Amino acid sequence: MRHIISLLMENEAGALSRVAGLFSARGYNIESLSVAPTEDPTLSRMTVVTIGSDEVVEQVTKQLNKLIEVVKIIDLNEGNHIERELMLVKVRAIGSDREEVKRLVEIFRGCIIDVTDKSYTIELTGTSSKLDAFLEAVERSAVLETVRTGASGIGRGEWILKV
């Protein structure tokens, strides 16, 4: 099953490689990983999306917790949560395709952030599956380049991950 794990960790050099190294050393899957400092610059917030059985994910969280620099960790799947991912996608847009792509961007509530006479660059935010759906909807040969951030997640309502 897909789990989305949120970590608060010391914003120190090498902390990220400890997390990445743990996943590869123990053979855990990383579907995506995103990290950036928080409003408190001594802390980084990381979101890891991993796929595994309940037993494996339990081990993943326990092992992550053991890392000295990890301050707090939650498995967002244990409660209600929201997740979002940002995608930038450059598509070929010539002639009648230009209108077609624009309509599609509107349907998916994205926006076009760069335009040339041959292409659009589109910004799209949503759950990972929404971004997948957009790519499905665009003609495959029209997609020139995609870049995705990986998911970020946060608990709903009063569920807060804070030191």
Partner 1 sequence: MSVELTGAEITIRCLQEEGVRCIFGYPGGAVLFIYDELFKQDKVRHILVRHEQAAVHAADGYARSSNNVGVALVTSGPGVTNAVTGIATAYMDSIPMVIISGQVPTSAIGLDAFQEVDTVGITRPCVKHNFLVKDVTELAQTIKKAFYIASTGRPGPVLVDIPKDVSQQKTKFVYPDKITMRSYNPVVKGHSRQIKKAAELILSAKRPVIYAGGGVILSDAAPQLTELVQMLNFPCTNTLMGLGGYPATDKQSLGMLGMHGTYEANMAMQYCDVLVAVGARFDDRVIGNPKHFSNENRKIIHIDIDPSSISKRVKVDVPIVGDVLDVLKELIKLLKAGKERPDQAALKEWWKQIELWRERDCLKYDRESKIIKPQMVIEKLFNITKGDAFITSDVGQHQMWAAQFYKFDKPRRWINSGGLGTMGFGMPAAMGVQLANPKGKVACITGEASIQMCIQELSTCKQYKLPLKIVNLNNRYMGMVRQWQEFFHGNRYAESYMNALPDFVKLAESYGHIGMKIERPEDVEGALKEAFKLKDQLVFMDFITDQTENVFPMVPGGKGLSEMILV
Residues binding partner 1 (CB under 8 A):
9-10, 13-14, 17-18, 21, 25, 55, 58-59, 62-63, 65-66, 68-71, 163
Nearer residue to partner 1 within complex by CB, 71 or 144: 71
Query: What is the smallest separation between the CB atom of 72 and partner 1, expressed in angstroms?
Result: 8
For residue 127, the minimal CB distance to partner 1 (Å) is: 30
Beta pairing class for 111-115 and 152-155: unpaired
Question: Cα-flanking dihedrals φ and ψ of residue 157, to 5°?
Answer: 60, -125
Cβ-contact 119, 89 below 8 angstroms: no
CB of 18 to partner 1, least distance (A): 6
Q: Which is nearer to partner 1, 63 or 149 (CB)?
A: 63
Closer residue to partner 1, CB minimum distance, 8 or 124: 8
Rounded to an integer, what is the distance from CA 59 to the centroid of its chain?
22
**Is the CB of 78 or the CB of 114 nearer to partner 1?**
78
Instruction: State CA 125 to chain mean position distance.
Output: 10
| Longest Cα separation, the chain | 56
Closest CA to 67 of 14, 1, 2, 4: 14
- The smaller minimum CB distance to partner 1, of residues 26 and 118, is found at 26
The SS3 of residue 117 is coil
Give the integer Cα–Cα distance in Å for 69 and 84.
25
User: In whole angstroms, how close is the CB of 111 to partner 1 at the nearest point?
Assistant: 39
CB of 84 to partner 1, least distance (A): 27
What does the DSSP 8-state code read for residue 96? T
